[in-house]
Structure 1
Amino acid sequence: MTSEIRLSQGGHSTHGLKPNCLSFSEVLAQSFAVIAPTTIPASNLGLIVALAGNGTWLSFLLGLIGLMLVSFNINQFASRSASPGSLYTYIVKGLGPTAGVICGWSLVLAYLFTGMSVLCGFANFSSAIFAHLGLYPSSITLLAIGAAIAWYAAYRDIQLSAMAMLWLEGLSILLILILGIIIWANNGFAVDLRQLTLQGVTPGSIAMGLVLVMFGFSGFESATSLGDEAKNPLRTIPKAVLGSALMAGLFFIFTSYIEILGFHSAGIDITKAEEPLTLLSQQAGVGFLGDLVALGALCSFFACVLGSINPAARIFFTMARHGLFHASIGRAHSANRTPHVAVSICSFLMFLVPAIMMLFNIKLFESMGYLGAICSYGFLTVYILISIAAPVYLKKIKQLQPHHLVVSLFAIGFMMIPVIGSVGIPGSTWFPVPEAPYSIFPYLFLLYLSATCGWFVWQRMRSPHILRTMERGMAIIQETHHLR
């Protein structure tokens, strides 16, 4: 056995991380925390409605179908091996090191920008709460507080992180479901024909809405980064990946339909509302419940920041152990058994970018939308790559069946819908080119990939042993799986 791997008494590879400590509910909490279902109905829904209009529920439905197909492809790997490297290690196994590096850098951007976006939401909601108390701290101060508390929880203990995320998100979801039923009842359980008949909706608006819907679902696969720390990872992780996507999707469809119905009935534009549930709760005569939901949303934003740090740090950690970063990033804390250096880097970056945007007078609510759209391209790239890698991997191990190819093709097809919607087709009325700044985000992402992959090519030319290190790391993961 190489020195890169250490075994616990039970023979479980830990890479220095805390082994066998997370139950299924705690693993599920990791995926749910990054999805942060509460944040969409409580704050971000107006951003999606601005793009998809009355077809918002359909964008969520298509997103759910597409990601269920993607989850089946992810689970072809997750049911056979586990590591802290998440989808990065899966794609290396299926498509090789170069595709793996594209995936790794895409995931790093995706998780970091998800964390940045929801950190803006945390600061935005915190500012409103402090204002009620007559306090007006600066946005940068609130960003620093959120990032610092999340850093401490991720640095200190993965179980502390998981339990915090589980309770914070669970309570918030329950409150929103109760409020949603009250709002619907207040409207006589009416049927909104404008939504069901897709009034004023075009295929392009559905496709563009899917970009931010991907942000809404993003992170459902993040449980795969807990391969060392989960109990029975080959069972619990696949269940968490599939279950989190399904439950979040049904929650999104229900809450988006109810909220848009409520705003239609009130004659108010939801795209201008930064706290839509607070407004609807006041109209329904249960303003206190709206205040509780706002507090729950604040907790959910924080849980998502924490949930984004965990997988981002573990991907950095694994890539460093493969020689792609400085070796110190691939070290685990001797007492806490967490990737403490990687956690610190990710936490700082999540604070730095939104803070710089504040200095350029970009509002927190706008920053949420911009950062959320950009992170979606990272997730879309990874979901397409994993859907290509799954059948290739199954063919390598001689377990490929025709239905695996069908699932892969449909998953890729569904993921291409938001890709086309985000770029647009010049002159097309169905898929028009999005308005600025959303129109430039895909190209900024491609520039980012070109730079990071170019750096990998330069590293590989300068140090050819990197490929051997990556291959050895994959062999260790496979060997560890057999030891289990």
Structure 2
Amino acid sequence: MHGVARPELPARSSVTGLDRRRLGPLPVLAQSVAAVAPSGAAAIIPAIVLGATGPGALLAFVCTTVVCMLVSWCIQQFACRMRAPGGLYSYSARALHPGGALVTGWSALLGYSVVAMAGLLAVGLYLADLAQRLGAPPSIGPPLAAGVVLVAGVAVGVILVAGIRLSARVTLLVESVSILLVLVVLIVLFVLVLPTADLSAVLAWKPDIRPLAVGIVIAISAFIGFESATTLSVEAAKPLESVPRAVRWTVPAAGVLYVFSSLVQSVAMPSPSISHEVTPVTDLVSLHEPMVMSIVLDLAIAASWFSCALASLNALVRVLFCMGREGVVPRGLGHTHPRYRTPSRALAVVLPPVVATPCILILAGAQQHALADLLTLSALGYLGTYVVVCVATPLFLRRIGEATRATWIVSVTAALLLTVIIALAIVQTFSEQPVLVSVFLAVLFGSSCLALVFRRRAPARLEAVGVYDETIASDVSRGAQRGIFR
């Protein structure tokens, strides 16, 4: 082998500027968990599903968990082979036409940005609700909620600029505490109502596929974001291990929590009207326990949604960072902070509208349905990216000679199921909120037009789509010493 020349490694990665190889496995896992916001979602989404399906809520969450696990498997096939801060956007570019990847990227931007808005809105609503429980007059609710959103948005911005390690630690701490508190409250509530509960009625389900389908469409919004650890693959110490692991375990863990929350709410809900409240579980707890439990729950849920906004913006700015490096958005968005090595310019662009939107919705008096509407719109964006990555998975594996029959079966099944879910979601949403569907379709149409413009006028930029992290010379010596390049 003495005559074989070793390939020369580049001195710089195409994503140089990010804080490469710094995060351990727990912060990476926390990114996916926080983006899902299991504590916050467990307090809101099951109640909405119950209102739509009745006893079929448990089955709806079980079915949704299975679908999301199939999608998770597809994403893992990329995550264990690639390191790309663009996540699913960059993955799709490795297998599909760059124009299709660009549309996928804008769909992801829609999902991440809108769910960040929903997270900040939920923080404001739950803390304003807490203030009223402690005696504040109802008239102070909207301005207080808007003020909380503003303060929370500033805090998120400061944490994100200050470095990925700080934001990862905050996310891990906040989400861990909130999950523990919400789980304790749900267990206490279940123990209190179990003696008088009619479990046979709760577990009964009439074989009617329509309400089940509607329930699945709603339930899937509780899982969106589980893939967001992929956007930290450059900053993870062992990305090809920790990122797939985070994507793999977030879905079933969240699914168990949602099924349990659905069971508790099914047996404890005295009236279907509570499921339509802004804070359904808090209202439910206040009927059975002293105020202290509802206070703890409000704080835990607000904390969960805060970490959701933090994690979603983490992912959002990294997708924009990739697009800036590729030149499909202004190249300035591909710059990082010289000291903290974070995509600070991308954050400066997206943070103002992400904070302003929930403030405007609150002050306009639209908060009653705004949270559900934002979650629905973000779900449409996420589902668009999930379908594409499921289609791309077998094509990517075939390109590198690793496709199997199981690959095709799982990927095609996941893509077909998601296509049905998206179609049902669009039909259901259009009948109630046509504006949301119009926004989603406008993003797809606009990004498709943008891809055509690049194809005709700047094909080199379009071909650059799909930037990813490469092994550089310094990785070899550092990896040999520390064993981090895996």
CA distance in 1, matches of 2:98, 2:474: 20
CA distance in 2, matches of 1:302, 1:100: 30
Does residue 194 in structure 1 map to residue 201 in structure 2?
yes
Does residue 412 in structure 1 map to residue 418 in structure 2?
no
Contact 1:81/1:481 (CA < 8 Å) preserved in 2? no
> In the alignment, which residue of structure 2 is the partner of 1:429?
none
CA distance in 1, matches of 2:316, 2:8: 25
Cα 1:417–1:198 shift into 2, 3 Å = farther
> In the alignment, which residue of structure 2 is the partner of 1:428?
none
Give the 5 Å matches for 1:262-277. 262-263=268-269, 266-267=270-271, 269-277=273-281
1:158 deviates by: 1.1
Deviation by residue 1:304-354 (Cα, 9 ceiling, x = unmatched): 111110000000000111111111100111100100011222221211322
**Which of these residues, 173, 185, 196, is aligned with residue 167 of structure 1?**
173
Does residue 229 in structure 1 map to residue 230 in structure 2?
no
> In the alignment, which residue of structure 1 is the partner of 2:71?
70
CA distance in 2, matches of 1:224, 1:305: 17
CA distance in 2, matches of 1:160, 1:100: 31
- Unmatched 5+ stretches in structure 2: 1-6, 477-484
**Which of these residues, 292, 296, 300, is aligned with residue 296 of structure 2?**
292
> In the alignment, which residue of structure 1 is the partner of 2:479?
none
**Which of these residues, 287, 294, 305, is aligned with residue 309 of structure 2?**
305
Give the 5 Å matches for 1:21-420. 21-131=22-132, 132=134, 134=136, 136=140, 137-188=143-194, 190=197, 192-199=199-206, 202-263=208-269, 266-267=270-271, 269-358=273-362, 360-362=364-366, 364-420=367-423
Give the residue type in structure 2 aligned to 1:447. A
Cα 1:44–1:66 shift into 2, 3 Å = closer
CA distance in 2, matches of 1:408, 1:374: 24
Deviation by residue 1:153-177 (Cα, 9 ceiling, x = unmatched): 1111111111111111111111222
> In the alignment, which residue of structure 1 is the partner of 2:453?
458
Q: Secondary structure at the match of 1:219?
A: coil
Please say which of residues 373-382 and 343-352 is displaced more in the overlay.
343-352
> In the alignment, which residue of structure 1 is the partner of 2:441?
446
1:52 deviates by: 3.1
1:146 deviates by: 1.7
1:440 deviates by: 4.9
Q: Secondary structure at the match of 1:305?
A: helix
Deviation by residue 1:179-237 (Cα, 9 ceiling, x = unmatched): 222222222364533332225x7423222233332221110000000011111000000
Please say which of residues 232-241 and 33-42 is displaced more in the overlay.
33-42
CA distance in 2, matches of 1:129, 1:178: 19
Q: Secondary structure at the match of 2:194?
A: coil
TM-score, structure 1 as length reference: 0.89
Q: Secondary structure at the match of 1:94?
A: coil
Does residue 469 in structure 1 map to residue 464 in structure 2?
yes
- Unmatched 5+ stretches in structure 1: 8-12, 425-432
TM-score, structure 2 as length reference: 0.89
Cα 1:5–1:38 shift into 2, 3 Å = farther
1:436 deviates by: 4.2
Q: Secondary structure at the match of 2:464?
A: helix
CA distance in 1, matches of 2:149, 2:459: 41
Cα 1:4–1:321 shift into 2, 3 Å = farther
Cα 1:470–1:420 shift into 2, 3 Å = closer
Cα 1:458–1:228 shift into 2, 3 Å = same
Contact 1:42/1:293 (CA < 8 Å) preserved in 2? no
1:102 deviates by: 1.3
> In the alignment, which residue of structure 2 is the partner of 1:10?
none
Identity score, percent: 26
CA distance in 1, matches of 2:220, 2:472: 34
CA distance in 2, matches of 1:361, 1:267: 25
Deviation by residue 1:375-407 (Cα, 9 ceiling, x = unmatched): 111111111111110000010011110000111
Cα 1:345–1:57 shift into 2, 3 Å = farther
Cα 1:302–1:434 shift into 2, 3 Å = closer
1:123 deviates by: 1.1
Q: Secondary structure at the match of 1:269?
A: helix
Give the residue type in structure 2 aligned to 1:203. I
Contact 2:58/2:262 (CA < 8 Å) preserved in 1? yes
CA distance in 2, matches of 1:2, 1:110: 39
Contact 1:46/1:273 (CA < 8 Å) preserved in 2? no
Aligned-residue CA RMSD (Å): 2.6
Cα 1:184–1:376 shift into 2, 3 Å = same
Q: Secondary structure at the match of 2:94?
A: helix
Give the residue type in structure 2 aligned to 1:457. L
Contact 2:121/2:359 (CA < 8 Å) preserved in 1? no
